[in-house]
Structure 1
């Protein structure tokens, strides 16, 4: 009878509830504590998943965030709870314009420190713009390395904080770590070595709206740590996987780099929580996660901080960042809960940072141990995107720029298999790994025609989970092998093929189930990870599909969805996906087409006139309205736009059909923090910076310069006298410039290089 009542009440509430995005918290939301040992705990366990209520452990209690209607459901079900904060919106407003408690950095102050570090330590620190968050806040990440402006063959590690804005300690830890790395580089031997041999990313405030409004949600009322795509399940008010600008930026950062270790910082308890968070089963990398968590704990300032799997050690959630980082990309990914109080007194900020600082440095160190190498084409020597599968561990995707990979491994002997589209799969056995070192295994692959399969699963959902099935997503990666990933009843997976398919003379996609009991599904195609999705058709078991059925000229991403037949809570529920193959049809030799569009500023959405457009060896400039048209080779090509005066640059992969004109706009983000650039002369360095009456530029072979120009931030050219001193130094007279930020543009007969200069008086 109770279950029937709860079902009716739950259905009524889900229909009537809505998100009040204009307030930091949901309308009437309160913070309560539920005693774990109470008689009605079974009713609590039944209600919470259906309502999607946010919960977290709090000693002998479970902390919950409830609206008035949800609280009434709890009371009607006999669930005892104690109210901690009766009105979270009023509580949020009590912090005033700062948004955070006194003594904590505001979002603006965090950004100011990040800007200062990038400006004052240009050799080792760059600031990257990741996009715009809800509330029109800028999302920024700091990269610290000895050559931070370029992507090197070095192990990468990511630290992030502030995904829940009311958990204020994470961003404090992040910005202090960045400051210590910059200030102590060159004087502290440990830090100097780590900066010289690693690439350290610090995403210091993932949810700036939440921090500015003292809420766990973003500006749309969504819990960002329930919005990631791997095993997403409609929790935390998330309407769909990667629905928010914050998680799209997060996904972009993780997919464009190969993070060996990824630590996300939270508050509300003290615990190190590693995958899985969506299920109780150990992950294939459980031993590695557990060992590194022990290293973190032992080196920290905590007295025995506990660690374990998120699902069993803390609480069950779907759509978390750590499950995405590990499940989709193979990073050793976890969250660190640094304080029992979400807003400890400001006097304790430094103490909590010092508790975590030595462990954070250990994670930077350990990211470079285990195995490393580069995947290349055996003929050209160029780097290749690939999946690296080590024994039965989860696959990892290598760095998309340099082709390098890095993974921490425990001592032992391992087998490495490498899969790359358009190349023969290669397996190497007997690789010996020793402690506190890294074994280099470079692998060259032989190209073959086609042999192109799913590279990775970006998003997936098994509705309401299915713990009777193993959820083996890696089974869908690579060529058919009779090992399958079951989608779940009504479940789906979004596949990144890694290559863009073009509509050709036959089927472009083949779906393999290779099962004695074929099942049904729908297949969709899209040109981005988020669609829009256009149906290619329905299938049962193995089937072929043609892009022409979707009226799409090209697609890189596929969405496959189970047809909803059968049971949901059994082994192998839903369509069993063995592999998806993409077939490339090569265009005629020496054929060409055109690309036309408009160049926009990604930040302001305004046209950019005078941007340099390149495609292969071809070059043009956007007109006064930002419009361009350029000839291009057919097939898979890359088109790039650059506006050096404003440090704007980006490249997009596109597919050009013979004789066609592809309409494609370019959105150029500002590449922040650049003050040194690689050019015809090697590294260009400007000093002093900040400057007063003069600035010198040092490099090799400067006599080859055709022109040197100085621009304001608005792009206005400034008249400055330039004099040369030998072949490696030129001096710019800056005495007539008003204080502020300027760009210096160096022109040769082959390229333009840009540097940032600050004038202070």
Structure 2
């Protein structure tokens, strides 16, 4: 019996063995379909839509229950290659898939991660752009945009300015996907620099732009997430590896501090999809030669795994009325860090709040009732790949007739445009105030 299992494992490993080459659409599809067939118990392959040229936007889900959401198991995603000429992330995600499925049941860390997480991996959001660039090039090429020549990372609704662009099919597919899943944490993989960048990418004075940054109410969490990835990448953490006169201390930057960006995907995820997303720039060269790919995998493997684990930060649970009926579409947020588009329970009454260890008050708001406050203490370390579980039982019967089953979207408009005040996280510290004053004085 043991010999048979060993032989089967070896056979499956051979079937899905992935070389360090660039995989165009046909080869990528063949690999993904092979994985889905040979590891059907822990994977699901599906397309969330099609590109302008009709290519499938493939997503492979890895998890103990890959085909559907299970209560208490958070949803995580990686998206790569939204700029078609930024290619390293595409290949890294294919190798990550292989690493996950071939180590399930062998590596305790990977096994536990698959047990407690539903991991969605999209190797290419812009397959048309990738196919348009056949020759490796470190700089900009026409393949950056989609087939209609739109930059997909400038194509989403923006929370700060009107973004009057034609929404592209790839963008529309991702927006629809975000509505279908309860994503908690995400990263999108790019190239052309070496840094972990966190929201906001755009901003207004109320989010800190007068101090050359734009911060979310969850800035402490975002800084932690970015440092988690960068600190495990030996070149990213240097901060100046690309030798292009841009220095990123410890390999991390606030997106706006680097340069303002209108219509970016990470801001859209955070504001409208309740999903914390950062942007990972993984290579100084956008489209490096194939022989460099093993080095990129070695540099990023630990970071990719450790970042997924961060989906288990904080606190999670369900909100019930006094009859233990789950309440969907109920606002659940940490006091003093509310979101401009309030975070709400999903159709199962679930909530997931990413917060660092510490003491917090959770504010639950049901239409027609006073806010319900619950104090929680988040321990220093998560237990068994799980956030602190805290179900909230409200002392009344929920008015289910007035609570829609699906979360109504906040208007796709610049929600922050007229904001006058914001979280304390955006207020400059004395140190940053002095730095700003000195900068102005000596400029």
Task: Tell me which interval the TM-score lies in, with the shorter structure as reference length.
Answer: 0.7 to 0.9
**Cα contact 2:196–2:227 (8 A) shared by 1:** no
Of the candidates 175, 191, 208, which is equivalent to residue 267 of structure 1? Answer: 191
Alpha-carbon distance change, 459 to 354 in structure 1, aligned in 2, over 3 angstroms: farther
Residue pairs, 1:264-343, within 5 angstroms = 264-279=188-203, 280-302=213-235, 303-305=237-239, 306-312=251-257, 314-343=258-287
* Structure 2 equivalent of residue 194 of structure 1: 113
Alpha-carbon distance change, 256 to 387 in structure 1, aligned in 2, over 3 angstroms: farther
Identify unmatched segments of 5+ residues in structure 1.
1-101, 474-761
CA distance in 2, matches of 1:124, 1:399: 27
Q: Please report how far the alpha carbon of residue 192 of structure 1 lies from its aligned counterpart in structure 2 after TM superposition.
A: 0.5
Q: Please report how far the alpha carbon of residue 369 of structure 1 lies from its aligned counterpart in structure 2 after TM superposition.
A: 2.1
Of the candidates 40, 46, 58, which is equivalent to residue 128 of structure 1? Answer: 46
Alpha-carbon distance change, 108 to 470 in structure 1, aligned in 2, over 3 angstroms: farther
Q: Please report how far the alpha carbon of residue 186 of structure 1 lies from its aligned counterpart in structure 2 after TM superposition.
A: 0.7
- What secondary structure, in the 3-state scheme, does the structure 1 residue paired with 2:413 have? strand
* Structure 1 equivalent of residue 291 of structure 2: 347
* Structure 1 equivalent of residue 36 of structure 2: 118
CA distance in 2, matches of 1:371, 1:328: 20
Q: Please report how far the alpha carbon of residue 113 of structure 1 lies from its aligned counterpart in structure 2 after TM superposition.
A: 1.2
Alpha-carbon distance change, 160 to 461 in structure 1, aligned in 2, over 3 angstroms: same
Q: Please report how far the alpha carbon of residue 105 of structure 1 lies from its aligned counterpart in structure 2 after TM superposition.
A: 0.9
**Cα contact 1:257–1:400 (8 A) shared by 2:** no
The answer as to 2:171 corresponding to 1:218 is: no
CA RMSD of aligned residues (A): 2.6
CA distance in 1, matches of 2:103, 2:91: 18
- What secondary structure, in the 3-state scheme, does the structure 1 residue paired with 2:77 have? strand
Of the candidates 177, 186, 195, which is equivalent to residue 96 of structure 2? Answer: 177
- What secondary structure, in the 3-state scheme, does the structure 1 residue paired with 2:312 have? coil
* Structure 2 equivalent of residue 479 of structure 1: none
The answer as to 2:385 corresponding to 1:432 is: no
Q: Please report how far the alpha carbon of residue 358 of structure 1 lies from its aligned counterpart in structure 2 after TM superposition.
A: 0.8
- What secondary structure, in the 3-state scheme, does the structure 1 residue paired with 2:226 have? helix
* Structure 1 equivalent of residue 156 of structure 2: 228
- What secondary structure, in the 3-state scheme, does the structure 1 residue paired with 2:36 have? helix
Alpha-carbon distance change, 346 to 423 in structure 1, aligned in 2, over 3 angstroms: farther
Q: Please report how far the alpha carbon of residue 384 of structure 1 lies from its aligned counterpart in structure 2 after TM superposition.
A: 1.9
More strand by share: 1
* Structure 2 equivalent of residue 553 of structure 1: none
CA distance in 2, matches of 1:234, 1:439: 38
Identify unmatched segments of 5+ residues in structure 2.
1-19, 134-142, 204-212, 240-250, 424-443
Q: Please report how far the alpha carbon of residue 398 of structure 1 lies from its aligned counterpart in structure 2 after TM superposition.
A: 5.2
**Cα contact 2:83–2:190 (8 A) shared by 1:** yes
Q: Please report how far the alpha carbon of residue 330 of structure 1 lies from its aligned counterpart in structure 2 after TM superposition.
A: 2.9
Q: Please report how far the alpha carbon of residue 173 of structure 1 lies from its aligned counterpart in structure 2 after TM superposition.
A: 1.0
Q: Please report how far the alpha carbon of residue 391 of structure 1 lies from its aligned counterpart in structure 2 after TM superposition.
A: 2.0
CA distance in 1, matches of 2:368, 2:46: 33
Residue pairs, 1:495-506, within 5 angstroms = none
Work out which of the two has the higher radius of gyration on C-alpha atoms and give 1 or 2.
Answer: 1
* Structure 2 equivalent of residue 592 of structure 1: none
Q: Please report how far the alpha carbon of residue 234 of structure 1 lies from its aligned counterpart in structure 2 after TM superposition.
A: 6.4
**Cα contact 1:367–1:406 (8 A) shared by 2:** no
CA distance in 1, matches of 2:115, 2:159: 37
CA distance in 2, matches of 1:244, 1:310: 23
Q: Please report how far the alpha carbon of residue 376 of structure 1 lies from its aligned counterpart in structure 2 after TM superposition.
A: 3.4
Of the candidates 337, 341, 352, which is equivalent to residue 393 of structure 1? Answer: 337
Residue pairs, 1:700-739, within 5 angstroms = none
**Cα contact 1:257–1:399 (8 A) shared by 2:** no
CA distance in 1, matches of 2:62, 2:102: 12
**Cα contact 2:364–2:372 (8 A) shared by 1:** yes
CA distance in 2, matches of 1:118, 1:260: 24
More helix by share: 2
The answer as to 2:95 corresponding to 1:146 is: no
Q: Please report how far the alpha carbon of residue 377 of structure 1 lies from its aligned counterpart in structure 2 after TM superposition.
A: 4.4
The answer as to 2:394 corresponding to 1:441 is: no
Alpha-carbon distance change, 429 to 375 in structure 1, aligned in 2, over 3 angstroms: closer
Q: Please report how far the alpha carbon of residue 335 of structure 1 lies from its aligned counterpart in structure 2 after TM superposition.
A: 0.4
* Structure 2 equivalent of residue 671 of structure 1: none
- What secondary structure, in the 3-state scheme, does the structure 2 residue paired with 1:460 have? coil
Higher relative contact order (CA 8 A, sep 6+): 2
Residue pairs, 1:522-561, within 5 angstroms = none
CA distance in 2, matches of 1:399, 1:167: 36
**Cα contact 1:285–1:394 (8 A) shared by 2:** no
- What secondary structure, in the 3-state scheme, does the structure 2 residue paired with 1:195 have? helix
The answer as to 2:303 corresponding to 1:359 is: yes
Alpha-carbon distance change, 285 to 382 in structure 1, aligned in 2, over 3 angstroms: closer
Q: Please report how far the alpha carbon of residue 427 of structure 1 lies from its aligned counterpart in structure 2 after TM superposition.
A: 2.2
**Cα contact 1:162–1:211 (8 A) shared by 2:** yes
Q: Please report how far the alpha carbon of residue 455 of structure 1 lies from its aligned counterpart in structure 2 after TM superposition.
A: 4.5
CA distance in 2, matches of 1:388, 1:424: 14
- What secondary structure, in the 3-state scheme, does the structure 1 residue paired with 2:45 have? strand
The answer as to 2:412 corresponding to 1:459 is: yes
Residue pairs, 1:637-648, within 5 angstroms = none
* Structure 1 equivalent of residue 80 of structure 2: 161
The answer as to 2:175 corresponding to 1:239 is: no
Q: What do the CA deviations read for 1:275-304 (whole angstroms, capped 9, x no partner)?
A: 010123321111110112112122223243
- What secondary structure, in the 3-state scheme, does the structure 1 residue paired with 2:279 have? strand
Alpha-carbon distance change, 402 to 179 in structure 1, aligned in 2, over 3 angstroms: farther
CA distance in 2, matches of 1:419, 1:105: 48
